[in-house]
Amino acid sequence: MESADHNAHDETTAADREERHGGEGADRPPEHHPVAPRLPPPRHLRLWGFVFVVVLIAVAVYGIQHPRSDDASVQKWTQDQAVPVVAIITAKQDTSSQKLSLPGDIRAWYEASIYARVSGYLKMWYFDYGAHVKAGDVLAEIEAPDLDAQQAADEGKLLSAQSLVKAREAEKEFAETTYARWRDSPKGIVSEQEQESKKADFNSAVARLNEAQAQVAAYQGDLDRVKALESFKKLVAPFDGIVTARETDVGALINAGSGTGGGSGPELFKVADVHKMRVYVQVPQQMSGGIHPQQIAKLTLPQQPDKSIDAVVATTSGAINMAARTLLVELHVDNPDSLLQPGSFAQVEFTLQGTPNVLRIPTSALLFREDGTAVATVVPDDKIEIKPVTLGRNLGTQIEIVKGVTVSDRIVNSPPDSLATGDVVQIVGEKGPGSAEGEVGLTDPPK
What digits encode the pLDDT tens for the residues 150-189? 999 999 999 999 999 999 899 888 888 888 877 777 776 7
Integer Cα distance of 313 and 142 in angstroms: 43
Q: Which CATH superfamily is domain 276-352 in?
A: Efflux pump adaptor protein, beta barrel domain (2.40.30.170)
Percent of the chain scored above 90 by pLDDT?
Answer: 47
Distance (Å, whole) CA 414 – CA 391: 17
Q: What is the pLDDT of residue 187?
A: 72
Q: How many CB atoms lie within 10 A of CB 7?
A: 10
pLDDT at 250 over 90: yes
Q: What pTM did the predictor assign? A: 0.59
Cα-based torsion angle of the residue sequence 69, 71, 77, 81 in order, rounded to the nearest 10 degrees: -170
Average pLDDT over residues 51-69: 68
Alpha-carbon gap, residue 268 to 48, rounded angstroms: 118
Q: Specify the domain boundaries for CATH 2.40.30.170 within the chain.
A: 276-352
Q: Is the pLDDT of residue 11 over 50?
A: no
Over the chain, what is the mean pLDDT? Answer: 81
Average pLDDT over residues 303-314: 93
> What integer pLDDT is reported at residue 125 of this predicted model?
96
CA 417 – CA 384 distance, rounded (Å) = 13
Residues of the chain with CATH 1.10.287: 112-254
pLDDT for position 111: 95
Asked whether the predicted pLDDT for residue 294 surpasses 70, the reply is yes
pLDDT exceeds cutoff 70 at 80: no
Closest by CA position to 170, among listed 131, 205, 143, 203:
205
Give dist(CA 289, CA 295) in Å, integer: 12
Q: Which residues contact 252 (CB under 8 A, 6 or more apart)?
A: 121, 122
Secondary-structure class of domain 85-92+357-427 per CATH: mainly beta
pLDDT tens per residue across span 12-23: 444 454 444 444
Reduce the secondary structure of the chain to three states and give it as a string.
CHHHHHHHHHHHHHHHHHHHCCCCCCCCCCCCCCCCCCCCCCHHHHHHHHHHHHHHHHHHHHHHHHHHHHHHHHHHHHHHHHCCEEEEECCEECCCCEEEEEEEEEEEEEEEEECCCCCEEEEEECCCCCCEECCCCEEEEEECHHHHHHHHHHHHHHHHHHHHHHHHHHHHHHHHHHHHHHHHCCECCECHHHHHHHHHHHHHHHHHHHHHHHHHHHHHHHHHHHHHHHHCCEEECCCCEEEEEECCCCCCEECCCCCCCCCCCCCCEEEEEEEEEEEEEEEEHHHHHHCCCCCEEEEEECCEEEEEEEEEEEEEEEEEECCCCEEEEEEEEECCCCCCCCCCEEEEEEEECCCCCCEEEEHHHCEEECCEEEEEEEEHHHEEEEEECEEEEECCCEEEEEECCCCCCCEEECCCCCCCCCCECEECCCCCCCCCCCCCCCCCCCC
Q: Say which residue, 436 or 73, is predicted with more confidence.
A: 73
Distance between start and end Cα atoms, the chain: 89
**CA distance linking residue 122 with residue 232, whole number of Å:** 12
Taking only the tens place, the pLDDT of each residue in 181-210 is: 777 777 767 677 777 888 888 889 899 999
Q: How confident is the model at residue 290 (pLDDT cuts 50, 70, 90)?
A: confident
pLDDT at 398: 86
| For residue 312, pLDDT beyond 50 | yes
For 112-254, CATH number? 1.10.287
238 or 392: which leads in pLDDT:
238
The pLDDT score that the predictor gives to residue 67 is 57
Q: Where in the chain is the domain with CATH 2.40.420.20?
A: 85-92+357-427
Q: Are strands 367-369 and 132-133 parallel, antiparallel or unpaired?
A: unpaired
CA pair distance 385, 420, nearest whole angstrom: 7
Alpha carbon separation from 127 to 143, 160, 265, 365 (Å, rounded)? 18, 43, 20, 62
Tell me what pLDDT residue 274 has.
Answer: 95
Per cent of the chain over pLDDT 70 is: 79
Cα 103 to the center of its chain, rounded Å: 10
263: pLDDT confidence band, cut at 50, 70 and 90? low
pLDDT one-digit tens code per residue, 397-412 = 888 898 889 989 999 9
Give the per-residue pLDDT at 24: 45
pLDDT-based confidence at 25, cuts 50/70/90? very low
Q: What are the CA-CA distances from residue 132 to residues 237, 239, 245, 248, 249 (Å)? A: 10, 10, 12, 18, 19
Whether 106 has a pLDDT exceeding 90, the answer reads yes
Mean pLDDT within 311-339: 94
pLDDT of residue 41: 57
Average pLDDT over residues 320-337: 95
Decide if pLDDT at 95 tops 80.
no
In a 10 Å sphere around its CB, with 0-12 CB exposed, 13-18 middle and 19+ buried, how is residue 46 labelled?
Answer: exposed
Which of 37, 18, 39 has the alpha carbon at shortest distance from 28? 18
Per-residue pLDDT band at 275 (split at 50, 70, 90): very high
376 in Cβ contact with 325 (< 8 Å): no
Give the least confident one: 78-92, 270-284, 379-393, 397-411. Answer: 78-92
